[in-house]
């Protein structure tokens, strides 16, 4: 696995190192030893899956409020998505900055989303499948989000938005509000 730091504080992209021969391909998707300096003692407690049927659909931008924050390791296993993270840790040097990365079954990249980041993605293909490895159990009372089109963030989605859930549309613009996320 090749780990590359991203411009946002504590975030990283992890490239697989596939082995190919006449039989096909083999790649390691997760190795606690190789990811030890990213995981820093955290353990994966859930592996979640989503399939998004239509290109242009956005899921996000989601996060868990303290003390239920989670690190996510996100990988697209079928098709492609444009995955976006936003640093919402008020004391971070990259506060309110965002980064987008294309994750696909073909490029085999995995995105490390640290605690204190909002996360979402846009499906670029039909039936895009995503795996999320998380370090905290989901708590519905701690669920929160910011709008995918928040003018304060000005996220540049690569294709026209075709679908987004009613819940994700209900999130209010940040407009300087405190998201209660500490480093």
Q: Residue 66 is part of a domain; what is its CATH number? A: 2.60.120.10
Whether residue 180 lies inside any domain: the answer is no
Whether residue 99 lies inside any domain: the answer is yes
Count structural domains, the chain.
1
Whether residue 175 lies inside any domain: the answer is no
Whether residue 40 lies inside any domain: the answer is yes
pTM of the model: 0.93
132 included as an active-site residue: yes
- Which of 62, 95, 119, 171 is catalytic? The answer is 62
Question: For residue 111, what are the contacts with CB-CB under 8 A and spacing of at least 6?
Answer: 11, 12, 13, 14, 72, 73, 74, 75, 83, 85, 101, 103
pLDDT (tens digit per residue) in 46-65: 999 999 999 999 999 999 99
Whether residue 177 lies inside any domain: the answer is no
Domain around 166: 2-170
- Which of 132, 138, 148, 171 is catalytic? The answer is 132
From the list 99, 77, 92, the residue with the least C-alpha distance to 13 is: 99
Whether residue 102 lies inside any domain: the answer is yes
pLDDT (tens digit per residue) in 90-143: 889 999 999 999 999 999 999 999 999 999 999 999 999 999 999 999 999 999
Q: Report yes or no: 175 and 140 within 8 Å, Cβ to Cβ.
A: no
């Amino acid at each position: 696995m090749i780990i590359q730091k991203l411009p946002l504080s504590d975030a990283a992209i992890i490239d697989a190192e596939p082995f190919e021969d006449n039989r096909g391909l083999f790649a390691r998707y997760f190795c606690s030893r190789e990811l030890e300096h990213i995981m820093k003692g955290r353990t994966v407690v859930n592996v979640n899956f989503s399939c998004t049927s239509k290109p242009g659909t956005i899921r996000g931008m989601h996060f868990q409020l303290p003390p239920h924050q989670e690190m996510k390791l996100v990988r697209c296993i079928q098709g492609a998505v444009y995955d976006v993270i936003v640093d919402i840790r008020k004391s971070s040097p990259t506060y309110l900055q965002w980064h987008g990365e294309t994750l696909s079954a073909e490029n085999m990249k995995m995105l490390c989303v640290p605690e204190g980041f909002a996360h979402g993605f846009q499906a670029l293909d039909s039936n895009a499948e995503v795996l999320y490895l998380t370090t905290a159990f989901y708590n519905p009372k701690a669920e929160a989000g910011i709008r995918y089109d928040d003018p304060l963030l000005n996220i540049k989605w690569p294709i026209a938005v075709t679908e987004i859930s009613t819940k994700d549309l209900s999130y209010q613009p940040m407009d300087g509000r405190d998201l209660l996320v500490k480093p």
